C-alpha cells in the first residue's frame, strides 16, 4: 500500500505538498512547504491510538518530524481543519517538538459548547483558548513566502475550514476523491445543506486548483488517493452529477442514515475539542477517557 506521495510545486507561489496516509483511520496528514524559504505547515496530524488496548503512540507524528528534518524544513504552523471524529490530533505533541503555533477555525467554540454538554464538562473552557489562533472566514496568513487564506466550510462540522495555499486547497471532509463522493453531515452540528454550499465555494476555485482531501477509504480496493483537481471533481464526482442543492441534500441524508458512527468518535472528540490534549493524569498517574452512554441517539449499529 502506498502511504506517501509528494505533489510538486507548479511555480512561484505554489507549495510542495507531502501527503501521509494512515491506514488505521483512512486519514491523510499533510506537510505543505514553500520551496523558496523551506518554511512549512503541518495540517491534520494524527496521534496514534489503539482503542482495544487504550495505548497511544506518536509513530505518525514522528514520521512527519522525520520528513521535516530530512528536507531541512522549518515548521511555522500546526493546523487542524476541524475537530476530528476518527483520530486524535497530534497538534500538542508537535507544538512541544517544534514550538510552532496551533490554529483551527473560530467556530470551534460552537463545537466545544456542544460537546461539553455531551461529556458533561461544565468546567471546560469553550472559548477556543486551547489553540494559539482561531481563523475566521477570509483570514490570511503566510507560510514562508506563500500566501494562504481561510474559507469557512461548515457542513461536516460547524467548525470546518479549508486552507487555500497558492494553487493548493486542503478541503478536509467536504469532497472525497472524484470516484467517491462527499463527506457525511450527520454528526452533532452537521448539516447537509451547509455542506452543499461549502462544496460550491470550493468548486468556484480555478479548475486547476489542487484539492487535498482529509480521508480516503479505497473504494473497490484501489490504492489510497488524496489529490484531485477542481475540474475533475466538477466532471466526475458522483455526488455532484445532478448539480442541484435539493438532490444533493436528499442523497446525503439518505446515505447518512445508513452509516454507523466512526468507532473513535466518543474517544476522539474529548481530546480534539481540547486542541489535541489528552486528559490530565488522575491521582494515580493514569489518564482516563470519558465515554458517555446513549449520547448519540439513533446511531446505526454495525
Yes or no: say if 292 and 115 are a contact pair by the CB < 8 Å rule: no
Q: Where are the domains of the chain?
A: 4-270
Strands (E), 158-233: 161-165, 168-172, 210-213, 227-229
Distance of alpha carbon 172 from alpha carbon 156, whole angstroms: 9
Distance between CA atoms of residues 289 and 143, nearest Å = 35
* pLDDT tens-place string over residues 125-143: 999 999 999 999 999 999 9
Cell numbers placing 97: 517538538
With cell 477555525, the residue in question is: 105
Average pLDDT of the chain is 97
Nearest Cα neighbor of 113 from 129, 126, 131, 128 is 126
pLDDT at 9: 98
Return the pLDDT at 1: 84
pLDDT of amino acid 216: 98
Q: Topology of domain 4-270, per CATH?
A: Metallo-beta-lactamase; Chain A (3.60.15)
Q: What burial letters (b/e) apply to 208-231, b meaning 16+ CB within 10 Å?
A: ebbbbbbbbeeeeeeebbbbbbbe
Q: Model confidence at 302, in pLDDT bands (50, 70, 90)? A: confident
φ and ψ of 88, to 5 deg: -80, 145
Distance spanning both ends of the chain, measured CA to CA: 26
pLDDT tens digits, 40-94: 999 999 999 999 999 999 999 999 999 999 999 999 999 999 999 999 999 999 9
> What value does the mean pLDDT take over residues 247-266?
97
Amino acid at each position: 500500500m502506498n502511504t506517501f506521495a509528494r505533489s510538486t510545486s507548479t511555480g512561484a507561489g505554489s507549495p510542495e505538498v507531502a501527503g501521509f496516509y494512515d491506514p488505521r483511520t483512512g486519514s491523510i496528514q499533510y506537510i505543505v512547504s514553500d520551496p523558496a524559504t523551506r518554511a512549512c505547515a503541518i495540517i491534520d496530524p494524527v496521534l496514534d491510538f489503539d482503542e482495544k488496548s487504550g495505548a497511544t503512540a506518536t509513530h505518525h507524528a514522528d514520521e512527519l518530524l522525520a520528513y521535516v528534518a530530512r528536507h531541512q524544513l522549518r515548521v511555522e504552523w500546526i493546523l487542524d481543519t476541524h475537530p476530528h471524529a476518527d483520530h486524535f490530533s497530534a497538534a500538542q505533541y508537535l507544538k512541544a517538538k517544534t514550538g510552532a503555533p496551533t490554529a483551527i477555525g473560530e467556530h470551534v467554540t460552537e463545537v466545544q459548547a456542544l460537546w461539553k454538554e455531551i461529556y458533561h464538562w461544565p468546567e471546560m473552557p469553550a472559548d477556543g483558548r486551547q489553540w494559539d489562533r482561531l481563523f475566521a472566514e477570509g483570514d490570511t496568513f503566510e507560510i514562508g513566502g506563500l500566501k494562504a487564506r481561510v474559507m469557512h466550510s461548515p457542513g461536516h462540522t460547524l467548525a470546518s475550514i479549508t486552507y487555500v495555499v497558492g494553487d493548493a486547497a486542503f478541503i478536509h471532509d467536504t469532497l472525497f476523491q472524484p470516484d467517491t463522493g462527499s463527506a457525511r453531515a450527520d454528526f452533532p452540528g452537521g448539516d447537509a445543506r451547509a455542506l452543499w454550499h461549502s462544496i460550491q465555494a470550493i468548486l468556484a476555485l480555478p479548475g486547476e486548483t489542487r484539492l487535498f482531501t482529509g480521508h480516503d477509504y479505497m473504494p473497490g480496493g484501489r490504492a489510497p488517493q488524496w489529490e484531485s483537481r477542481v475540474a475533475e471533481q466538477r466532471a466526475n464526482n458522483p455526488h455532484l452529477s445532478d448539480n442541484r442543492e435539493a438532490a444533493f441534500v436528499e442523497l446525503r441524508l439518505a446515505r447518512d442514515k445508513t452509516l454507523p458512527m466512526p468507532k473513535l468518535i466518543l474517544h476522539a472528540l474529548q481530546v480534539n475539542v481540547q486542541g489535541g490534549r489528552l486528559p490530565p493524569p488522575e491521582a494515580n498517574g493514569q489518564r482516563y477517557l470519558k465515554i458517555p452512554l446513549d449520547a448519540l441517539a439513533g446511531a446505526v449499529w454495525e
